[in-house]
Structure formats: C-alpha cells, structure tokens
Structure 1
C-alpha cells in the first residue's frame, strides 16, 4: 500500500484528562487531506485515534503513558466474566448498521451524557453535536445497535479500517448500567471482526495509573504500539498458560 504524506499540527497545552498534575498536548492530522480514507487507515495503524472530526495522538513531552492498544480478534477467548456478561445479555438483539442520525439515537445519547457527564460541557448536546462527534468524515462508520425488545438501549460507534475496526465511543441507557453494556459492545465488535475476517479491534489508549482505562487490559491477547511497531503484550495469566 502506498503511504500517503500527511500534514500534522500540534494542539495547545491543556491539563491531562487521565493523570492528575500533568499537562497534555495532542498532535492532529490535517482534516483537509484529499484522500482521507487512505490517510485514516494509515493513521490508525500508527497509533492515532478519532474523536469527532479530529484524528489525533498524544504528543506530550516527557510522558508516554498513553499506549495504543489493539486486540488480536482471532485469538480472543472469553473469560468467565465475559461469559457471564453474555449470559446476562442474552435477551438483547444486536445489529450492525450504517452510522446515521435518528431521533431515537439522539435521545439515548442525551440521556447518557446527562447521567455520565453532568455539568461537564457535554450534557446538553444538540443534533449537530451528535453528528459532529459520532459520524466520521474520514471513512466508514458503523453503529452496533443493541436493543431490548424493540427499544435501543446501547450504541457502540466503530470505524471500519483496512485491517480492523476502531472503537470510537459507546453510549447506553443509564437505567441498564448494571448489564455491563460497554464490555458487551466490545465483544460484539470482536465477533464482527472475526466474521468479516479483520484481524484487529483498535481500542484507543490504555493509560497505566488511570482507573477508568484499566478495563482495556481485560481483552487478551493484545498488542501495544511503541511508536515504531506493534508488539504483543502478555499478561501474567497468559505467561502462566492459564
């Protein structure tokens, strides 16, 4: 595959949202590249991530805590907790749909943000916010549509790339938080990768020391990107052959 030349831009310095008492800066890909789909595939493989219309990677000086992670889908095997999660959610119906705005999705998004991010600047979105944040100008995006009977209770947003899916965001009905829908949606994306013969599910960044990111280490086997190449990382359990 021909490598595309990409202009990169450095953002401003802000407080780190993952680790206390640190500052962070992001490197952004040029959003006006003439071949955004080819560029997006290339960027995801180089440890970038999409947030809304922006594709970025951390560019912090003196800190490399944000580690890009991808799951080796063909080798993934559910743990006991994963099997319990699937059993708990066996009454749900899962479909994969082209990403789009609907009033139903938007109302679920509103409820999720109001419950999870009150007074955080995201808790009163309008339809344009929904489309700008979740739909993808860089390529193809799918919604993992999860329903209880006929009511949508969760949506996982995932981007299709040349060698995998890239998990972008998940929102769900706060009344069903006890179902573990975030983990359930990751497993659905892994199964889709297997079904369409894509080797990887990209999970964004794992940050050692950030509790809200620790769940990403549960999905094994996985590879981490060190800035030059992807390398498989073995947990203590896998080293012991468990």
Structure 2
C-alpha cells in the first residue's frame, strides 16, 4: 500500500500546445501549486530541479521528444562585466532603480502593454488585461520583489519627487535561499540603444552578490531559439543537465 504524505505536493501535466520557441514543435509542462507556509521552501527545492514560478504555480518543461529547454543560472561571485557590459552600465547612468513590494500600477501596465505589443504581439501573453497583469505581480506566496528603473530627476535625490522620473523598465524577481530568480522583466521598446534587458540582468547580478547569495537564475535557454541567445552572454554560468548542474563552456 502506498502512503501519501498529506502535505506532499501534487504534480499535474498540461496538454500539448504549440512551442513558443521552436516552430513546428509542441510543448508540455509539469506543474504544482505553491501555497501556504511551505511555498518558499518548495520553490527553493524545485528550482534545483529546473522549475520556474508563474504566479502560484511552479512548472518545468516536460516535452516528450525534446530537451531543448535548459535551466540557466549565473555564478555571480565569478562574474566580471565585459567591456560591452560596462558600456551598457555607463549608457544608463541616468537611470535609478527602486526596489519595493510586488505591487502593480497602471503606469507599469502601460509600459508592459507597449512592450508586449512591440515584442510579443502573437505570444501567449499578448491578450493580458490589466487584471491579468495585476495577478502576475501580486499572486505570489514567496518573497517577491519588484524593481522599477526610472530616469533620474535632476535635483530630486532624497526628495519625494525622486520617483517621478519616466518609468523605463521593470523586473519581477523572487528571493530564494541560494539566489535571486528573475521571474519576468520588460522595458521601453523604443529605447533599444540602452540595452535595458541586459542592464536589468547586470543589476540583478549585483543585487544577488550584495545579498551574499551564489546564483542568479535566468530561466530557460533554448538552443536554436534566437531570442534566447542573450542568456549565454553572461558567463560563467551553469546549466541543469541530466546529471545535475554543470558549468557551461560556450
């Protein structure tokens, strides 16, 4: 007779759907719910096995004939920014980051909508309403932070006007036992020259280091998907392989 612990998580499998990364392929995911006092500990454990969080769900790919999605984490203590990365930091010296609770605003949604319309018009998130966005931000039972990247307001440092600068980018991130996990980020699509996606990762590397944690989790890298190639630029990093986390040499 099999005895199930009453608090053991239950796992479910989605039906096949079109893969958003590789044309002509189908994807399936295995998932479980993150609820109650055990949510943070469960997410820490599942992240070691390649799971990601979306709202109160932890999931990972479970495709029948494809293993292209590979979990990636940056070794923050060994990371040194390249010349290109340092240029990105200098180029955005007129931005300031504000970290706070995961609380949605209409200003955020407006930027989020512009980002989706420019970058993901036909994606699964393209129809997200303001309520859907609010749930994405708020529906978390783990330690989740929201970082806003705004234009600096001249002469406003230390005043109530400091947060009045134009919102340029937003990152939603989880604090875990061994690192930060970038859940979702978006930015002003008309500011491509700033490389804001790169900037947010560089900023999160520093935030992870300051917390004394070893890893920054970036989600999945999909070999063969051009829009995922940027993740390989941040070295050194580890990939989750069949035998466990292994250092990637690109």
Q: What's the CA shift string for 1:137-172, capped at 9, x where partnerless?
A: 230111121111311110011111111011111111
- Note if 1:165 corresponds to 2:208: no
* C-alpha separation in 2, matches of 1:122 and 1:28: 19
CA RMSD of aligned residues (A): 1.8
- Between the aligned partners of 1:169 and 1:124, the Cα distance in structure 2 is 16
The 3-state SS of whatever aligns with 1:84 is helix
Residue 186 of structure 1: how far off its partner (Å): 0.3
Tell which structure's C-alpha radius of gyration is larger.
2
Q: 2:222 matched to which residue of 1?
A: 207
The answer to whether residue 111 in structure 2 is matched with residue 108 in structure 1 is: yes
Matches of 2:167 and 2:21 in 1, distance apart? 30
The answer to whether the aligner puts 1:147 opposite 2:162 as a matched pair is no
Ranges in structure 1 where 5+ consecutive residues have no aligned partner: 236-242
CA, structure 1 residues 16+118, in 2 after alignment: closer, same or farther (shift >3 Å)?
closer
Deviations 1:92-140 (A, max 9, x none): 1112222111222222222222222335464454332112223342301
CA deviation profile, 1:61-120 (whole Å, cap 9, x unmatched): 121111100000011011111011111111111122221112222222222222223354
Q: Determine the structure 1 residue equivalent to 2:193.
A: 178
Instruction: Say if 1:69 and 1:121 are closer, same or farther in 2 by CA, change over 3 A.
Output: closer
Matched residues in 2 for 1:218 and 1:181: separation?
15
1:134 and 2:134 correspond:
no
- How much has 1:27 moved relative to structure 2? 0.5
Q: For 1:35, what is the secondary structure of its paired residue?
A: helix
Q: Distance in 2 between matches of 1:60 and 1:119?
A: 22
1:60 paired with 2:63, answer yes
- The answer on 1:14 being equivalent to 2:17 is yes
Aligned length: 232
CA distance in structure 1 between the partners assigned to 2:41 and 2:111 by the alignment: 32
Asked whether the equivalents of residues 46 and 227 of structure 1 are also in contact (C-alpha less than 8 Å), the reply is no
TM-score (norm 1): 0.89
